[in-house]
Amino acid sequence: MIQLIRGFKDILPGEIEIWQNIEKTARSLFENFGFKEIRLPILERTELFARSIGEDTDIVEKEMYTFPDRKGDLVTLRPEATASVVRSYIQHKMYAKDPVRKFYSIGPMFRRERPQKGRYRQFYQINAEVFGINSPFIDAQLIFLAVKLFHMLEVTDAQPHINSLGCSQCRSNFKKALSAFLLSVTEKLCDACLKRSKKNPLRALDCKNSSCREAMVNAPAITDYLCPECRQHFETVKSALEKLEIPFVIDKNLVRGLDYYTRTTFEIQTGLLGAQNAVAGGGRYDGLVKTLGGQDQPATGFAIGLDRLAEITGIRNKDFTKKPDIYIVALGEKSEPLAFEWNCNFGLEGIRPEMDLSNRSLKSRMKRANKLEAAYVLIVGDNELEEGAVILRNMTTQKQILIPIESLVERVIAEIKA
Ligand code: AMP
């Protein structure tokens, strides 16, 4: 038997209802705040991700599904959404009419990470991106929206961790200080961090290795290196969150695994997931539109991990199963085509029908109606046809009534809704 690929999963009925409800809630919240849906390809040129996420990040170095297509062009299954949204914003000159654009999207991402609970190779994200706004209030609003979405989905434990990575100027001063610090703790660093210490020291800050983590407790804080504008920007984000009564933690080592972030970065963490404690992450990426060949436009956004959110949402406890309103049993050659027609019409009228198309006995068909927990059963045999009325059985009260065949669909609906 052919099994699915490791790290990939099927989302089956029973589970999918949770996902649909999460998506419905997210869509409605984002639309209220002026975000428009955007749907982009899953396959993009490899170069797009290499240039935006950064050549020496984990994602680009070792996690992307990259392959030559049949003509030999290198293509990649998208590992994240932001790069594609930026590409699309530039390609369609969306800034020309109005540089301020707000998008949301929902879809699969692909990273060849080591699979474990909460970590998949195909996973899903809900993304929100805002272009053309420099103001720190929009950063605060994004964090607010993510937290509120968690609350709406009955996730009680969702805490934003925030940091500011400053602009390129602040970062270059900080990098020097960080490199010097890393050199003073080389004996505690893993091989990857030793390599990073000169080229990309920021990466060492979020290394998962326990010895590196321990060493990083004493690392300098980037927030001490912010220029006056970046410092003010971060102060406003924090005070806006306080006004909105969104509690947050300042995490000086939160740099996130992608190169394009500037100024505000954040992650929403939860204690409900074990090791994979991040349910959302994002931040500002002011330089990215220009890096990818567009106008210089500020931008900011976030991604929520839908798989992880589906695991911890309180709506898991709700029963979303939809049972048939009416189970149709036709017991004769003449009655079957007529019953089939009723069945189709019930569905169109918003009544959930289920027609038994087997040749089994009435008893075994009633058993199946019971198993499916149908509210009513409609029984029609050739005798009933001749007499011009069929049987409608209320499965809760066990009461049966006769319904005339004339305008049957309307009459049954009236009875069910009475
Ligand atoms: P990132 O794009 O790395 O900033 O991740 C944003 C969010 O996506 C994370 O907080 C996770 O909730 C989710 N996520 C990232 N990678 C995975 C993965 N391999 N499996 C499941 N969820 C993931």
Do residues 203 and 196 touch, judged by C-beta distance below 8 A? yes
308 lines ligand 1 (CB under 6 A): yes
Q: How confident is the model at residue 408 (pLDDT cuts 50, 70, 90)?
A: very high
Better-scored residue on pLDDT, 181 or 275: 181
Q: Using most ligand atoms within 8 A of CB, pick from 123, 265, 269 the residue to mutate for ligand 1.
A: 123
Distance from C-alpha of 325 to C-alpha of 415, rounded to nearest angstrom: 12
For residues 24 and 313, the answer to whether their CB atoms sit within 8 Å is no
Cα–Cα distance for residue pair 211/275, rounded to 1 Å: 17
Q: Is the CB of 309 under 6 A from ligand 1?
A: no
- pLDDT tens readout for residues 385-402: 899 999 999 999 999 999
Mean pLDDT in the chain? 94
**Architecture of the domain made up of 16-167+227-317:** 2-Layer Sandwich (3.30)
Dihedral (CA of 360, 365, 366, 368) sign? positive
Residue nearest atom 2 in ligand 1 by C-alpha distance: 80
pTM of the model: 0.93
Alpha-carbon distance of 248 to 272, in angstroms, equals 17
Question: Which residues does residue 379 pair with via DSSP β-bridges, in sequence order?
Answer: 329, 391
Residue 400 C-alpha to ligand 1 middle, in angstroms? 55
Q: Pinpoint the residues of the chain covered by CATH 3.40.50.800.
A: 322-417
Nearest CA, atom 15, ligand 1: 305
- Ligand 1 centroid to 103 CA: how many Å? 19
Nearest protein CA to atom 18 of ligand 1, as residue: 119
pLDDT-derived band at 258 (thresholds 50, 70, 90) equals confident
Task: Report, at the CATH architecture level, how domain 322-417 is classified.
Answer: 3-Layer(aba) Sandwich (3.40)
Assess contact for 103 and 258: CB atoms under 8 A: no
Model pLDDT for residues 211-240, shown as the tens digit of each residue? 988 999 889 999 999 999 999 999 999 999
246 Cα–ligand 1 center, Å: 22
Is the C-beta atom of 303 inside 6 A of ligand 1?
yes
The minimum-distance atom of ligand 1 relative to the CA of 79 is: 2
What does the chain come to in residues?
A: 418
Tokens of 200: 């990309």
CA distance 76 to 47: 9
Ligand 1 pocket, residue 206 CB under 6 Å:
no
pLDDT digits (tens, 9 = 90+) for 75-102: 999 999 999 999 999 999 999 999 999 9
* Percent of the chain scoring above 90 in pLDDT: 82
Q: How far apart are CA 372 and CA 369, in angstroms?
A: 5
* Residues contacting 267, CB < 8 A, separation 6+: 160, 161, 251, 254, 256, 278, 280, 281, 282
At residue 156, does pLDDT exceed 90? no
Residue 72 has pLDDT above 90, yes or no: yes
| Sheet containing 74-77: order of strands | 43-45, 74-77, 65-68
* Cβ of 80 less than 6 Å from ligand 1: yes
The torsion angles phi and psi of 126, rounded to 5 degrees, stand at: -105, 120
Tell me the residue type at 307.
Answer: D
- Please tell me the predicted confidence (pLDDT) of residue 39: 98
Q: What pLDDT score does 111 carry? A: 97
Alpha helices in 318-373 (DSSP H): 335-348, 362-371
Distance CA 17, CA 22 (A): 9
377: enclosing H helix or E strand: strand 376-380
Exposure string of 313-351, with b = 16+ CB inside 10 Å and e = fewer, is bebeeeeeeeebbbbbbbbeeebbebbeebbebbeeeeb
Q: Which residue out of 82, 276, 306 has the highest number of ligand 1 atoms within 8 Å of its CB and is therefore the one to mutate?
A: 276
Whole-number percent of the chain with pLDDT over 70: 100
How confident is the model over 88-138, as pLDDT tens digits? 999 999 999 999 999 999 999 999 999 998 999 999 999 999 999 999 999
Least confident of 6-15, 213-222, 336-345: 213-222
Of all protein residues, whose CA lies closest to atom 5 belonging to ligand 1?
Answer: 281
280 CA from centroid of ligand 1 (Å): 7
